[in-house]
Amino acid sequence: MGKRITVDVPSRQTYTIMITDGFQELAGELEALDIGSRRLCIVTDSQVGELYADHVSKALSPYCREVLIYTFPAGESSKHLGTVQEAYRFFIEHNLDRKDMLIALGGGVTGDLTGYAAATYLRGIDFIQIPTTLLAQVDSSIGGKTGVDFDRYKNMVGAFHMPRLVYINLSVLKTLDNRQYASGMAEILKHGLIKNAAYYEWLIGHFGEINERDMETLEEMIYESCLIKKAVVEKDPLEQGERALLNFGHTIGHALEKYKDFTMFHGECVALGCVAAAWISWKRELLSMEEYYEIRDMFVPFGLPITVDSVDVEEILRLTRSDKKMEHGQIKFVLLKKIGKAVVDKTITEEEMRTALEEIVFDGKERE
């Protein structure tokens, strides 16, 4: 088992995505990055650190000058500038310099936070990604988007900073609980919906093996999703055009995350956002009614919600106005022209979003 993908971003560094089933190849991958005289600092959260930090440290220590470990409290509540400041203090106290390297060991919060620290510490140092959640493996670890939340607004402070390596160890997925695992499936289904109808159908056809976490199936699935993300990032590394398509489901999804005070997982909110966006696509006659209901219902076998309760629709609408993807006062909203093809639309009205939200909000009332 083992696959490699090269991400070649114009005017920025090329890096490898390594997909394998253990940590046994990590040292060799890092040796290729000339770590012999470097200090490495593993940045991880309190949950992942207990599982993997010592193991990774012992695997790398013989090949570099020193391995340090910086741990922060697990959860989205740590994804803010205060945690980054504490990380800076740790780096300074341990004399990390521009030739040293950070290792993001964890899920999306850890990857985003570590990447932002790497982008800004000493005006930029190298870092690698070792994503330990399904969502991070197929989405947030690839493409160099880094950042933290500000006043609970999602990813409002950040920078583009490409990793030197993305090392995906499939075996860590066995430790995820079902809800965390399902959260990653939202981004994977999204990839098929926006870019590859055949892949989307393959996912539906293999939902049993995927839910059972069959390693061969997961390798193929993650490889295909990484190829989709790679292709988009290479064409549009700084999100000036096509990369915005990856935000399908995210405008409403991010607003729901904030409204629910991050008690819902990112993928759960993205799934709901995808259903709402598909609803608008249907009402604009881009999708057929049958396509809309297929898209909506196919989130369910993967353990994802298609309705949400206890939501104030007007407050969600207000939160979408703070979306970082706003441009000249207009939201860049992603719609589906068909399964496998998405478009960015800047003409979505508040009323359209309101009716889409009413479709996903469960209040016991019958909808027409």
| Type of residue at 300 | V
Residue 328 has pLDDT above 80, yes or no: no
Could you tell me if 28 and 90 are in contact, meaning their C-beta atoms sit under 8 angstroms apart?
Answer: no
Separation CA 119–CA 282 (nearest Å): 41
At 285 the pLDDT is 97
Q: Which residue has the higher pLDDT, 2 or 354?
A: 354
Percentage above 70 pLDDT, the chain: 96
pLDDT in the model for residue 330: 80
Sign of CA dihedral 310, 108, 74, 171: positive
- Per-residue pLDDT, 13: 82
Please compute Rg for the chain using Cα positions.
20
Q: How far apart are CA 102 and CA 111, in angstroms?
A: 10
Q: What is the pLDDT of residue 327?
A: 66
Strand blocks (E) in the chain = 3-7, 15-20, 39-45, 66-72, 101-106, 126-131, 145-150, 153-160, 165-169, 326-327, 330-331, 333-338, 341-345
Q: What is the pLDDT of residues 237-296, one digit of tens each?
A: 988 889 999 999 999 999 999 999 999 999 999 999 999 999 999 999 999 999 999 999
Please answer whether residues 33 and 163 qualify as being in contact, where contact means their C-beta atoms are separated by less than 8 angstroms: no
Beta strand residue intervals within 142-205, DSSP E = 145-150, 153-160, 165-169
Residue 325 pLDDT class (50, 70, 90 cuts): low
**Among positive and negative, which fits the CA dihedral 232, 264, 296, 172?**
positive
Rounded to whole angstroms, the Cα distance separating 36 from 54 reads 19
The token pair at 179 is 């809800």
Give the model's pLDDT for residue 326. 65
Q: Tokens 């989709």 belong to which residue?
A: 228
CA angle 144, 148, 150 (to 5 degrees): 145
Sheet holding 39-45, edge to edge: 3-7, 15-20, 165-169, 126-131, 101-106, 39-45, 66-72
Assess contact for 253 and 269: CB atoms under 8 A. Answer: yes
Where do the DSSP E strands lie in 28-182? 39-45, 66-72, 101-106, 126-131, 145-150, 153-160, 165-169
Q: Rounded CA gap, 235 and 208, in Å?
A: 34
Centre a 10 Å sphere on the Cβ of residue 346 and count the other Cβ atoms it contains: 12
Tell me the pTM.
0.94
pLDDT greater than 80 at residue 53: yes
Q: Tens digit of pLDDT for each residue in 120-160?
A: 999 999 999 999 999 999 999 999 999 999 987 888 999 99
Taking a C-beta distance cutoff of 8 angstroms, is the pair 304, 181 a contact? no
d(CA 297, CA 135): 20
Residues 177-229: pLDDT tens digits?
999 999 999 999 999 999 999 999 999 999 999 999 999 999 999 999 999 99
Q: Which two tokens stand for residue 236?
A: 């549009």
Separation between Cα atoms, residue 287 and residue 197, nearest integer Å: 14
- Plot region of 338 (φ>0 → left; ψ -120 to 50 → alpha; else → beta): beta
**For residue 324, what pLDDT is reported?**
58
Helices marked H in 240-286: 250-259, 266-283
Look at residue 365 in the predicted model and tell me its pLDDT: 55
- pLDDT given at position 245: 96
Looking at every residue in the chain, the average pLDDT score rounds to 94
- Higher pLDDT among residues 95 and 9, named by residue: 95
**For residue 84, is pLDDT > 60?**
yes
Average pLDDT over residues 70-83: 96
